[in-house]
Amino acid sequence: MPTPRKYSRRRFLQSTAATSAAYWLTPRGAWAQSNPPAGTPGDALNVAVVGVSGRGLANIDELLKETKESKAARVVALCDVDERNFAKPLQLCPGAKTFQDFRVMLDTMPKDIDAVLVATPDHTHAVCAVTAMKHGKHVYCEKPLAHDVLEVRVMQQTAREHKLCTQMGTQIHARPNYRRSVEIIQAGIIGPVREVHVWSNTNWKWDAKPRPGEAPPSLDYDLWLGPAPYRRYSPSYVPFYWRWYWNFGNGSLGDMGCHYIDLPFWALSLTYPTKVSAEGPPVDAEVCPLWQIARWQFPERGGQPAVSLNWYCGGKLPEKFEEWGLDPKWKAGVLFVGDKGQLYCDYELHRLFPRDEYKDFQAPPKTIPDSIGHHAEWVQACRNNDPGAPLCRFDYSGRVAETVLLGTAAYRAGTELEWDAHTAKVTNTRAADAYLKREYRKGWSL
């Protein structure tokens, strides 16, 4: 297997060893004091983007649009394992420096980068984000935050220890409809909520048996693989369909779960599930399922009742879909089931049921301010060195991501999991251990 062309593994290991020794031999808290979080109030935030096609390009566009008037941020570095991907973002960010290896980027521009936006495939989220945070950089990371559960925990811990501003890329969190829906639930309009149903019709066609091929000269495929177990290059993986292979992604639940499950987490103040189960087609060792149903049980909290949270994808829907009067055109969304009624929400609309009983409904007072923009919220927090400000900071969004990833772990393990969030362990079986934390390829670590 080849080593990355522009950064030898020996050099990386030497750098990592030195960094690790300094980190673990330094008294707790001293690292953050000697390497204060980047970003100074009043200064434009210098952002580096890792992964600049697809979601990365969309993030660059959204970041620049949301901060255009304030001039609060600028993109100073672009990093991508495929050199072909630089053309479009360079049109948006002329003058930005380009790199193939994020480690080289951080070593080359230690004082010129304040924050890092990570939009790589899921299997490299954690190594990119944790490395950036250990360099003292604020981090914005696309969902589902990491590839497996214990990577999420490391990301949360690193952000706390370095006192950094973080945000997960659930951009829908900033939209007015989600905020109004949360206000309706928290005002008690449908009464106490004991069950929530979430569904998504997201499904893509992919190769059950990836076609082997030769990587294009512009792509550093070994670097693209990162910590993931080795697989021969295939156009089935790069650049898009990696989502549907366990080695790199977590299927439809991993792809879309955080966007929709974020809403019940926010509205119901959910923390961690205690039981997780899932079903779908027979488990394949390499390929994610065409459909899946997952269920999480959450305990009582703060006077609110226990909640059953349910996920459906690949054409599956709640059994009472028609009985509740939901529109068949609603191919994705969230349904809160309360003691007094139901609330349906998606990205753009919300509806109360039964319709006749809520025809004279009066919206509750606004308690959640409108957003200045999901990226702008993060930029503002970075400039103010205010880690508690972003609404999707890792302390919150990590719980959403962990729940999603526990759903895929339960499916792959083929059994219900009893989850102890305090110890981050499954207590009733060892069948899921390999899906909570996996062995990294030689030369890679957190």
Question: Which CATH number do you get for residue 270?
Answer: 3.30.360.10
Is 112 a member of any domain? yes
Tell me, yes or no, whether 3 lies in a domain: no
Coil, strand or helix: which one is 395?
Answer: helix
- Based on the domain organization, do 296 and 383 belong to the same domain? no
**Residue 192's pLDDT band (boundaries 50, 70, 90)?**
very high
Tell me how far apart the alpha carbons of residues 85 and 207 are, in angstroms, rounded to a whole number: 24
Of 110, 140, 101, the residue nearest 19 (C-alpha):
110
Mean pLDDT of 203-232: 90
C-alpha of 245 from chain center:
17
Are 179 and 163 in a shared domain?
no
Confidence of residue 20 (pLDDT cuts 50, 70, 90): very low
In a domain, 346, yes or no: yes
381 and 346 belong to one structural domain: no
Pair of tokens at residue 125? 């989220």
User: Are 105 and 200 within one domain?
Assistant: no
Is the domain of 118 the same as that of 138?
Answer: yes
Residue 127, pLDDT above cutoff 70: yes
Give the sheet arrangement for strand 138-141, strand by strand.
97-99, 73-79, 45-50, 115-118, 138-141, 166-168
pLDDT at 22 over 60: no
Residue spans of beta strands (DSSP E) within 280-388: 292-298, 307-313, 333-338, 342-345, 350-353
Give the number of domains in the chain. Answer: 2
Shared-domain flag, residues 116 and 197: no
Cis peptide before 144 (omega within 30 of 0): yes
Say if residue 8's pLDDT is above 60: no
- pLDDT tens digits for 148-163? 999 999 999 999 999 9
Q: What is the pLDDT of residue 42?
A: 58
**CA 410/CA 365 separation, integer angstroms:** 40
pLDDT bracket for residue 208 (50, 70, 90): confident
**Mean pLDDT in residue range 53-82:** 97
Separation of alpha carbons 224 and 228, rounded Å: 9
Domain that holds residue 338: 174-205+250-375+403-436
Residue among 145, 125, 154, 122 nearest 401 (CA) = 145
Q: Do residues 105 and 199 share a domain?
A: no
199 part of a folded domain: yes
Q: What's the pLDDT score for residue 54?
A: 95
Flag whether pLDDT at 114 surpasses 80. yes
For residue 56, tell me if it sits in a domain: yes
Report how far apart, in Å, the C-alpha atoms of 125 and of each of 117, 142, 147, 215 are: 10, 8, 7, 22
Mean pLDDT score of the chain? 90
Same domain, 38 and 62: yes
Q: What CATH number did the domain enclosing 63 receive?
A: 3.40.50.720
Give kind and range of the element (H or E) at residue 77.
strand 73-79
pLDDT at position 29? 30
Residue 190 shares a structural domain with residue 153: no
Mean pLDDT of 283-302: 96
Residues 383 and 333 in one domain: no
Residue 215 resides in a domain: no
Do residues 156 and 195 both lie within one domain?
A: no
Q: What is the pLDDT of residue 202?
A: 79
pLDDT at residue number 209: 82
72, two tokens: 């609060």
* pLDDT above 90 coverage of the chain, percent: 86
Does 23 score more than 80 pLDDT?
no
Q: Distance between CA 446 and CA 134 in Å, rounded?
A: 10
Q: Tell me whether residue 220 is in a domain.
A: no
Question: By C-alpha distance, which of 278, 315, 270 is closest to 294?
Answer: 278
Is 262 in contact with 301 (CB distance < 8 Å)?
no
Residue 364 falls inside a structural domain: yes
Residue 396 pLDDT: 98
The residue written with tokens 């304030």 in the block is: 70
Q: Are 314 and 291 in contact (CB under 8 A)?
A: yes
Looking at the predicted structure, is the pLDDT value of residue 27 above 90? Answer: no
Q: How large is the average pLDDT for residues 416-445?
A: 97
What angle, rounded to 10 degrees, do the helices at 394-413 and 251-268 form?
A: 130
* Domain shared by 143 and 289, yes or no: no
